[in-house]
A and B are shown apart, each in its own frame.
Chain A
Amino acid sequence: MDSFIQLIDVTKTFRVGKKDFCVIKKANLSIKEGDFIVVLGASGSGKTTLLNMLSALDKPTSGQILVDGEDIVKLKPNQLSRWRGDNVGIVFQSYNLMPYMSAVDNVTLPMVFKGISKSQRKTKALSLLRSVGLKERMYHDSNLLSGGEQQRVAIARSLVNNPKILIADEPTGGLDLANATEIMETIYSLYKERNTTIILSTHNPNYAKFADKVIYIQKGEVTVQRSIKSATR
């Protein structure tokens, strides 16, 4: 069984004043290509820190993160940007859309940085917005959309460059139950269509049903369990 993503002795500490706080302690993980991973843990347990390292937004204090055999910890800032653009789509809890841009412009933005032509960008963005159910609101400014709609735009944006990995940091955290369920279903149906490796953090244990693997984080300790879904496969 080949690992697509591998964490080897990954530790992350933050210095606050004169004290070091260890958020992730010597984590070892192995994720297969196409896995749907749910990261569970209480608030402040280190879920976001782990996801930030997996998405190359942050670097571990020590250890290795191998993606498809490449240690991304060793990449330089400019290489990391390109690597992220090519390999990772990120969905944030707070959507992180450009408020002054329309939904379609937000979705095309990652393609702008890749130098893709305008016509190709538009075709792809419109298709993705349709697939996340935003056909009617494509040209609305993103700050005029509801929380659920903004998160759908963020999902479309994260998938627009066909990333191998989708990292979603509590994508339903700011949404009501109905919207949260819709977002989870959207992500799951896109996952099934695309076979992208998804790493999704949440504090809602009910979402473990979507996962091939569940990663628990408690006081910096990372443990892995097979999920109900994979157990019944």
Chain B
Amino acid sequence: MRLADVLKLALQNLWRTKFRSFLTILGVIIGISAIVAFVSLGVGLQKITSNQVAGLNALTTLTITQTPATSSMEEGPKLNEEAIDKIKKLNNVGSVTPSVNMPANVESTGTSAGAIIYGIDVQNANIEISGLTFGSLIKDKSSNEAIISSSLAAAFNSNKENVIGKEISIKILKDSAEGYNYSPKELKLKIVGIDNNETSNMVYAPIGKIKDLTQFEKYSTLKVKVASSNDVDLVKDQIKKMGYQVTTIKDLVDQIDKIFLLAEIILGLVGGIGLLVSSLGIINTMTISLLERTHEIGIMKAIGASNYDIRKLFIFESALIGLIGGVVGVGIAVAFGSAFNFILNLLIQSTGQELDVFVTPIKFALVMIGIAALISTFAGIYPTSRAQKLAPIDALRQ
């Protein structure tokens, strides 16, 4: 029996009992669309979260810090010029940007606040500063300019933009044998930019200016840029062997991915219950179909259909229910997700952001269609085995 004929007869049989077939397929559609929608929501939220945590730039950046002393181990090597030279010589390392950070008291427009001062390499400022909301970057390393965080700008003036061009004076808090003291000298800089950090009070200034003020002997962190995210783990291992502590945004993103994967599995299982119920529907439909068509099966066997032919017919019918249900179910879930994303983006158009809450990976959609067809094929095994075992003479008598 040719495949095209099996397909035609199977479709013909489903069409004969349109309403029942529709209800059975609807069960599969609900199950599949629930799984796909739930998982797409999980994937969408995961992507949004990962993008918030780390842009592409952050994913290829490693943060190196000095290993602190423990009861069993002395502190690790210092982060100084020698360390920078060593790290620069490693394969796949693009740039090494030092920075220092220290607590300070800052004052501007008559308001003072606690903040963390970052001494940064002005040429590689984009490694430290994720994005400017207002103003511009520091011109060069000799400029008496600073960039402050949105959170600090808000502390100085409710209209953040008005802070641009104002002077900020910085007193560094130093840890000494007598305890914490403010540096005797003050650093006065002009605020030229505001970044998008809404949660912490930060000031970014040229690292040379901080050196002049504090005469620090080691850097707080080194930011190592690698060519691609695939190089991150390799470079990380090499620097760790040199005795430094290394953290990457990739680690955090991996953790987030694991949490979301778990959430997606749970959501998928919830949707899977629907699919399980629909597979019972398929067994029921195919069994009723078998009972109704017993005489017909007898005729088919009498005119030359083998048990194998009957099995092919029933299995194809079952698989078609799953395949149609899978395709339509995935289609509905994707359409629903796209409509939701479209409406959401219309509503947040003014913020200039674009958010896709539902993201359906193509591979996942195809796998779900395959699973739907597979489950319904399995659901058809019991009625199929009953159909093929029917003796033609018994079937004809019914």
Chain B residues within 8 Å of A117, by CB: 2
Q: Knowing A78-B307, A96-B396 touch, does A57 contact B302 (C-beta < 8 A)?
A: yes
A115–B306 CA distance with the chains assembled, in angstroms: 12
Chain B residues touching A, majority SS? helix
**Docked pose: A161 CA to B4 CA in angstroms:** 20
Are B393 and A57 interface neighbours, CB within 8 A? yes
Q: Please tell me if A52 contacts chain B, counting CB pairs below 8 Å.
A: yes
- Asked if A81 meets B301 with Cβ closer than 8 Å, knowing A96-B396, A113-B1, A115-B1, the reply is yes
**A39 to chain B: closest CB distance in Å?**
17
Does B396 lie within 8 Å of A109, measured CB to CB?
Answer: no
Nearest CB to that of B2 among chain A residues?
Answer: A115
Given contacts A52-B393, A57-B392, A57-B396, contact A78 B308 (CB under 8 A): yes
Q: Enumerate chain A residues within 8 angstroms of B9, measured Cβ to Cβ.
A: 112
Asked whether, in the complex, the Cβ of A114 is within 8 Å of the Cβ of B396, the reply is no
Q: Is B5 an interface residue (CB 8 A)?
A: yes
* Contact status A109-B12, CB under 8 Å: no
Interface assignment of B304: CB less than 8 Å from any CB of chain A: yes
B307 nearest CB neighbor, chain A only: A78
Q: Give min CB distance, A14 to chain B, whole Å.
A: 11
| B167 adjacent to chain A (CB < 8 Å) | no
Judge whether B2 and A100 touch: CB under 8 Å. no
Task: Output the least CB separation between A112 and chain B (Å).
Answer: 5
Of the candidates A58, A82, A157, the one whose C-beta lies within 8 Å of that of B306 is A82
> B127 to nearest A CB, angstroms?
68
Do B393 and A81 touch (CB < 8 A)? Answer: no
Min Cβ gap A102→B in Å is 11
Q: Does A55 contact B (CB under 8 A)?
A: yes
Q: Which residues of A have CB within 8 Å of B299?
A: 96-98
Contact B302 A55 (CB under 8 A): yes
Please name all residues of chain B whose beta carbon is closer than 8 Å to the beta carbon of A57 when the two chains form the complex.
302, 392-393, 396
User: What separation, in Å, do the CA atoms of A52 and B392 have in the docked complex?
Assistant: 10
Smallest CB gap from A109: residue in B: B303
How far apart are B316's CB and chain A's nearest CB, in angstroms? Answer: 13
Nearest B residue to A101 by beta-carbon distance?
B12
- Number of B residues near A (Cβ < 8 Å) is 25
- How many angstroms between the C-alpha atoms of A157 and B1 in the bound complex? 17
Residues facing A in B1-59 (CB within 8 A) are 1-2, 4-5, 9, 12, 16
> How many of chain A's residues touch chain B, expressed as a range?
20 to 34
Query: Hey, what's the 0/1 contact readout for A179-217 against B, CB within 8 Å counting as 1?
Result: 000000000000000000000000000000000000000
Q: Contact mask A37-59 → B, CB, 8 Å, 1/0?
A: 00000000000000010010110
Q: Which residues of A have CB within 8 Å of B128?
A: none
A90 at the interface (CB under 8 A from B): yes
Q: Does A171 touch B at the CB level, under 8 Å?
A: no
Of A52, A96, A112, most buried by chain B (CB within 10 Å of CB) is: A112
Q: In the complex, which residues of chain A have a beta carbon less than 8 angstroms from the beta carbon of B304?
A: 81-82, 84-86, 110, 113-114, 161
Least distance between A221 CB and chain B CB atoms (Å)? 23
Q: How far is the CA of A117 from the CA of B2 in the complex (A)?
A: 8
Which residues from chain A contact B16 at a C-beta distance below 8 Å?
100
Are A100 and B1 in contact, with the CB atoms below 8 A?
Answer: no
State in angstroms the CA–CA spacing of A98 and B299 once bound together: 8
Is A77 located at the chain interface by the 8 A CB criterion?
A: yes
Q: How far does the Cβ of B297 sit from chain A's closest Cβ, in whole Å?
A: 11
Chain B stretch 271-309: residues in CB contact (< 8 A) with chain A: 295-296, 298-309
Q: Which residues of B contact A84 (CB under 8 A)?
A: 301-304
How far is B312's CA from A78's CA once the two chains are assembled, in angstroms? Answer: 14
A113 adjacent to B303 (CB under 8 Å): yes
Q: Beta-carbon contacts of A78-111 to B below 8 Å, as 1s and 0s?
A: 1001101110001010001110100000000110
Interface string of A148-188 (1 = CB under 8 A from B): 00000000011001000000000000000000000000000
Contact with A along B363-398 (1 / 0, CB 8 A): 000000000000000000000000000011100100
Contact partner, B303, options A77, A78, A115, A157, Cβ 8 Å: A157
Query: Are the C-beta atoms of B396 and A112 separated by less than 8 Å?
Result: no
Across the two chains, which residue of chain A brings its CB closest to B303? A110
Residues of B with C-beta under 8 A to A90: 302-303
Give the contacting residue for B309; candidates A52, A58, A100, A113; CB below 8 A.
Answer: A113
Please tell me if the beta carbons of B12 and A100 are within 8 angstroms of each other in the complex.
yes
Contact A85 B308 (CB under 8 A): no
Q: What's the nearest-Cβ distance from chain A to residue B309, in Å?
A: 5
A97 and B300 alpha carbons, distance in the complex (Å): 10
Question: Closest chain A residue to B395 by CB distance?
Answer: A57
Beyond the given pairs A82-B306, A96-B295, A158-B303, 20 more chain A to chain B contacts, judged by CB atoms under 8 angstroms and listed by A's residue number, are A57-B302, A57-B393, A78-B308, A81-B392, A82-B304, A84-B302, A85-B305, A86-B304, A92-B302, A92-B396, A96-B302, A96-B396, A97-B299, A100-B12, A112-B1, A112-B2, A113-B1, A113-B304, A115-B1, A118-B4
A–B pairs, 29, beta carbons within 8 Å: A52-B393, A55-B302, A57-B302, A57-B393, A57-B396, A78-B308, A81-B301, A81-B304, A81-B305, A84-B304, A85-B303, A85-B304, A85-B305, A85-B306, A86-B304, A90-B302, A92-B396, A96-B295, A96-B298, A96-B299, A96-B302, A96-B396, A98-B299, A110-B303, A113-B303, A113-B304, A113-B309, A115-B2, A161-B304
Chain B residues close to A by CB (< 8 Å): 1-2, 4-5, 9, 12, 16, 295-296, 298-309, 391-393, 396
